[in-house]
A and B are shown apart, each in its own frame.
Chain A
């Protein structure tokens, strides 16, 4: 990963990205390979190469649009953009940074609430048991999203095939894992 900053706008959001991740947005020369290879770009409001350009302008209005965009949440971090980028810009790591900032500033896109709810249910599940408890995850997710009927047909089929545990797997040092969670949640820039 390159951290050189020639011609970089080190202020603004692109400066924060650089500082937080070492990813230099300024290196992008708009070839568009990331957007062409992105499997989700068709569902995004701004495909990856647009986000790169919007960041390069340093315009606070565009930066705000990025943090409120659907793109940053529907990105799957499949890493195809990074694999194909001729400048080896780590776009997925930048996306992680933008998501976390969007979350802190309460700018999460309305259509991304379900995606966020799933991630939160997932983390809550492992915070208390140490390992993922799939039934707990689904119940928690349904409670958050009120999608009560979703996947109701799937669960019994999984049970028959021995693919769902009725009870969670509890690790011994649950307090140790919970402490890691609590510490990581405390210090947010």
Chain B
């Protein structure tokens, strides 16, 4: 079984452990993930804030490369990249006038036939069916599933899970042996792209998320986005400053939890790379 993979920039740098854990569980289930050759950055927040044409053209190049490589379905673990690629595919299908500017004038070949799936859809479709009898170490902890913004919004385009109280990650965690808690900040924003330019805002927004998870008894926050992970984990100092105390709840990728449940070595899942130590 072979699927395409668009890792995106974070998974090659500051969120290396996300890539490591996704590849490790894929391997454990005999799935080969093939990177799109010569892929570029999706443009992220910066492109769509400053330049609409660019924000569509960069993802269009990626999708065009995937088509050229013959990939039918591409896994996009980063929620922000998933959003940009999916929005681009949608815009190009809905607004033919963009095709001229974005596709023709950039001399890209594009038909729009690549299926884009996020990490939860990947786990659901390809990993879960393989789990029977493979869960050797159930992750027996209370967890707060944090979906963030871009995995579920805007629903009109993504058509994935519910915008306010999504359930898909909670179900995955249940199947991995964890107990997902009911809480209020599942899809509140962590501060995202303001991490560097307005760290104090991130401290407040992420601080509220961390606080609610702890108050309701979670032992770990589970995420599906490198931006969410780095804000909740790497920006813990700003969070602690906002909360006025030191909090040590770890922030784990959904793929790391599934990996642990499958009995994969902690180091292979990159758990040692986190700023807030994962002691559970």
Contact = CB atoms under 8 A, between A and B. Distances in A.
Interface of A: 1, 39-40, 43, 74, 76-80, 82-83, 88, 90, 92, 96-97, 99-100, 103, 114-120, 122-123, 126, 130-132, 134, 138, 141, 150-151, 154, 157-158, 161-165, 169, 171-173, 176-177, 179-181, 183-185, 187
Contacts of B163: 83
B50 A123 contact: yes
Interface of B: 9-10, 12-16, 38-41, 43-54, 57-58, 61, 101, 105-106, 149-150, 153-156, 163-164, 187-189, 191-194, 196-198, 201, 205, 234, 272-275
B61 A39 contact: no
23 contacts: A74-B194, A76-B189, A76-B192, A78-B149, A79-B150, A80-B189, A88-B156, A103-B50, A114-B198, A118-B46, A119-B46, A126-B43, A132-B9, A132-B13, A132-B41, A150-B196, A161-B273, A163-B16, A164-B14, A169-B12, A171-B38, A180-B57, A180-B61
Contacts, number: 154
A183 B13 contact: no
A92 B83 CA distance: 14
Give chain A's interface secondary structure class.
Answer: helix
B197 to A, nearest CB: 4
A162 B164 CA distance: 35
B53 A184 contact: yes
A96 B52 contact: yes
Given A80-B189, A119-B45, A164-B14, A179 B61 contact: no
A142 to B, nearest CB: 10
